[in-house]
């Protein structure tokens, strides 16, 4: 059963997102999983998650997506509202995975960042590629 105090904005096609979800489960946490491409956040949720992670809106964007350049989002003159509008219109522009636990909120890229908001692991965790963390 998912715990209401832990949440991941997850993209199952993303290796980092899969590793973070597996790490949460390895830590004994069954998070609320939100596939944000299917169920995107609203403006308030998006703004709140970004702020809680201590990021600017631009830092929360996935600049590697073709839509980032196609929409001219690399223009430094664009304000945060314009960037939020783009993220809401095309959720693929939201970087992932965002995770909220009782210990904080982070954009967990790389996946090791997740350790900052987890209790200490009892045993090491191995990512999909075999790399050990924790």
What distance in Å separates the CA atoms of residue 11 and residue 13, rounded to the nearest whole number?
5
- Tell me the Cα Rg of the chain: 15
Instruction: Please give the C-alpha separations between residue 3 and each of 31, 57, 62, 75, 80, in angstroms, as whole numbers.
Output: 5, 27, 27, 39, 31
DSSP run (H or E) holding 25: helix 15-26
108 is catalytic: no
DSSP state of 121: P
**Angle of the 80-89 helix axis to the 43-52 helix axis, nearest 10:** 120
Considering the candidates 11, 12, 14, 22, report the single residue annotated as catalytic: 14
What distance in Å separates the CA atoms of residue 49 and residue 42, rounded to the nearest whole number?
11
* Catalytic residue ranges: 14
């Amino acid at each position: 059963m998912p715990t209401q105090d832990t949440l991941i904005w997850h993209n199952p096609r993303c290796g980092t997102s899969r590793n973070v979800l597996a790490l949460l489960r390895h830590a004994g946490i069954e998070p609320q999983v939100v596939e944000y491409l299917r169920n995107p956040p609203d403006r308030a949720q998006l703004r709140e998650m970004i702020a809680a992670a201590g990021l600017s809106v631009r830092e929360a964007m996935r600049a590697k997506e073709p839509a980032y350049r196609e929409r001219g989002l690399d223009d430094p003159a664009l304000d945060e509202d314009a960037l939020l509008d783009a993220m809401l219109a095309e959720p693929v522009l939201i970087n992932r995975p965002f995770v909220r636990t009782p210990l904080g909120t982070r954009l967990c890229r790389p996946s090791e960042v997740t350790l900052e908001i987890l209790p200490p692991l009892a045993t090491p965790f191995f990512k999909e590629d075999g790399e050990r963390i924790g």
